[in-house]
């Protein structure tokens, strides 16, 4: 089974509001997590990453939170803009090796005007 | 260009035909990955090349799939005797040193449609 999953397949928010996209993982040995954004017809684009020795990491308008106790990862996007509309994937690295990078199915973020 | 380049961007083929998909990674990136993305789905790992090491082929779904990489440059993914279930977007990514050491840079993918 897939170890990385998302709570909601689609998330609709008003432009200017904050968005929170959630991700659950099941492998407590995972030590590296990444969020990717994929716009229609394009390849995934790196947003932000976090290692398991951190709880929070901030980027430009984005924050990733990691709760290792409940194995939960979230991506917060502040003041969402139309350009934020995309599918967001979380991915985890379950220890070394390329095939350890497991992607979830994605959450489609829709920005309402 | 500065990014990962893939060709063709779109390929329509008949069932049973062979196809070749090409990936030009970012210059200097030692790691190269192929993923498959079916419609509305996440990314499915296929194969990984790291420098001159033997590739990690653990994600290839069948022996109809193969991939090669010339040194630390171009890679080709070959699908023989294509089946309709092979229809998907095939994404290539490269990384400076490998997963866990930095981000993967993805190309825009090759969309394969098998009729």
For residues B111 and B24, give the distance between their C-alpha atoms in angstroms, rounded to a whole number.
16
Residues of A within 8 A of B58 (CB-CB) are 99
Give the per-residue pLDDT at A17.
Answer: 96
Digit-coded pLDDT (tens) for A33-69:
999 999 988 899 999 999 999 999 999 999 999 999 9
Measured distance CA(B105)–CA(A44) in Å, rounded: 8
From the number of C-beta atoms within 10 Å of its C-beta (0-12, 13-18, 19+), residue B2 rates as exposed
When the pLDDT of each residue in chain B is averaged and rounded to a whole number, the result is 90
pLDDT of res. A110: 94
Between the alpha carbon of residue B11 and those of residues A8, B14, B87, the distances in Å are 32, 10, 10
Chain B partners of A102 at a C-beta cutoff of 8 Å? Answer: 45
Q: What pLDDT does residue A1 have?
A: 33
> Where residue A108 sits, what CATH number does that domain have?
2.60.40.10
pLDDT digits (tens, 9 = 90+) for B7-57: 999 999 999 999 999 999 999 898 899 999 988 788 888 998 988 888 888
The answer to whether the CB atoms of B99 and A41 lie below 8 A apart is no
Contact partners, residue B27, CB within 8 Å, separation at least 6: none
pLDDT digits (tens, 9 = 90+) for B82-101: 999 999 999 999 988 766 66
CB contact under 8 A, A98 and B105: no
Give the minimum alpha-carbon distance from B18 to chain A in angstroms, rounded to a whole number: 24
Residues of B in contact with A93 (CB under 8 A): 99-100
The backbone region for B95, taken as left when phi is positive above 0, alpha when psi lies in -120 to 50, beta otherwise, is beta
At a CB cut-off of 8 Å and minimum separation 6, what does B1 contact?
A: none
Domain membership of residue A106 as a residue range: 4-112
A44·B43 Cβ contact <8 A: yes
Interface test with A, best of B24, B99, B107 (most A CBs within 10 A): B99
pLDDT above 60 (res A5): no
- State the pLDDT at residue A6: 42
How far is B77 from B67, CA to CA, in rounded Å?
Answer: 4
Residue A83 has phi, psi (to 5 degrees) of: -70, -10
**How far is residue A74's CA from residue A3's CA, in Å, rounded to a whole number?**
15
Q: Please report which confidence band the pLDDT of residue B102 belongs to, taking 50, 70 and 90 as the band edges.
A: low
Burial of A44 (0-12, 13-18, 19+ CB in 10 A): buried
Both tokens assigned to A36: 């990717």
Contact flag B98-A32 (C-beta cutoff 8 Å)? no
| Domains in chain B: ranges and CATH | 5-102 (2.60.40.10)
Please state the φ and ψ torsions of residue A99, each to the nearest 5 degrees: -75, 0
Query: Residues A7-16, buried b or exposed e (16+ Cβ, 10 A)?
Result: eeeebebeee
Residue A83 forms contact with B (CB below 8 Å):
no
């Amino acid at each position: 089974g897939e170890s990385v999953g998302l709570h909601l397949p689609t998330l609709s928010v008003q432009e200017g509001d904050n968005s929170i996209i959630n991700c659950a993982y099941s492998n407590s040995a995972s030590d590296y997590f990444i969020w990717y954004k994929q716009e229609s017809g394009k390849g995934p684009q790196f947003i932000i990453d976090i290692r398991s020795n951190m709880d929070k990491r901030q980027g430009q308008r984005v924050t990733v939170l990691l709760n290792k106790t409940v194995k939960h990862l979230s991506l917060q996007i502040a003041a969402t803009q139309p350009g934020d509309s995309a599918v967001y994937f979380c991915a985890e690295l379950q220890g070394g090796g390329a095939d350890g990078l497991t992607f979830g199915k994605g959450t489609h973020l829709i920005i309402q005007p | 260009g500065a990014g990962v380049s893939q060709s063709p961007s779109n390929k329509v083929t008949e069932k049973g035909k062979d196809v070749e998909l090409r990936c030009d990674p970012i210059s200097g990136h030692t790691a190269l990955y192929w993923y498959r993305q079916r419609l509305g789905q996440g990314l499915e790992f296929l194969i990984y090349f790291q420098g001159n090491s033997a590739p990690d082929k653990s994600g290839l779904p069948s022996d109809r799939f193969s991939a090669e990489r010339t040194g630390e440059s171009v890679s080709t993914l070959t699908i023989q005797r294509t089946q309709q279930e092979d229809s998907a977007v095939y994404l290539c990514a490269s990384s400076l040193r490998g997963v866990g050491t930095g981000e993967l840079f993805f190309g825009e993918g090759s969309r394969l449609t098998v009729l």
